[in-house]
Structure 1
Amino acid sequence: MIWLLMGAGALGAVVRLLLERGFQPRPVTGASPWAGWPIGILLANLIGTVLLGLVIGYARQHAIDVHPRSWSHRGWDGRWAWLLATGLCGSLSTVSTLFVGVHALATRQPSRGVCYLLGTLVLGLAAGMLGFTAGNLIG
């Protein structure tokens, strides 16, 4: 099972890298408030958060235990939920890449870094609630 967890983590990291590379920040200019924002990092974090909310909402709705201490006591449903939550979603949405983006913006203009951080947190909470609600509605 550890190999599946590592594979899911690797998949999440690759998807995050592809999003970061595919959505490179535009040069910072005075014309656009979004210029320089690491949109790829934002997308990776939001997608990972929606998926995590979906997994947790689904697990809650179907009484699937996703707690790490009960690994040996739960069935395959719980193990798959844990695999998706920690492996895929955990490596797709990382705090470290968020702060890399915040630092890149804040070194040029501190207000842009603060706006990016606050925007990511607000959008992340909304994405998590959306995923959780959708997970509760499935099946």
Structure 2
Amino acid sequence: MLRRTLRQHAAGVTVITVPGPAGFTATSFTSVSLDPALVSFCLGTTASTAEAVRRADRFAVHVLGAENTALARQFARSGIDRFDGVPWTAAEDGLPLLDGVPAWLTARPTLLRQIGDHLLVVGEVDDGAAPGGDAPGSALVHHDGGFVTTRQLDRPGR
């Protein structure tokens, strides 16, 4: 019942990476606080990347756009080298930063807690960029079991 109900909840798609390199597609990313700047995500405790996330002293969140659908699919697959053919650079500490995404941020974990069958990770943001600037494209969203894109209905004053 819960899974069927939550299929109707649209969620932004991200790829989260940690040194190793390791990474996975996530729709559980959210902002927690602006002051201090905190973000969070959840990951299944049995996921292939769970141990790498537990050990990581930093993580990156890559916000995906409609043009990143193949990237989202690749990082959602199990049993493959998710970084194969993906352009990325390593930060000084080995943190993978993916190329060609609309926005990214890096954070240091401040809380890791098992909640049910998932690991909740909260991190304090230490860097970020939106290479696409203020001209946003279509966001990549997960809804009803598949990837969809957004269309702006209105744009309130900024």
TM-score over 0.5 (shorter chain): no
Higher strand share: 2
With CA pairs under 8 Å and 6+ residues apart, which has the higher RCO, 1 or 2? 1
Higher helix share: 1
Q: Report the TM-score when normalising by structure 2.
A: 0.21
Q: Report the TM-score when normalising by structure 1.
A: 0.23
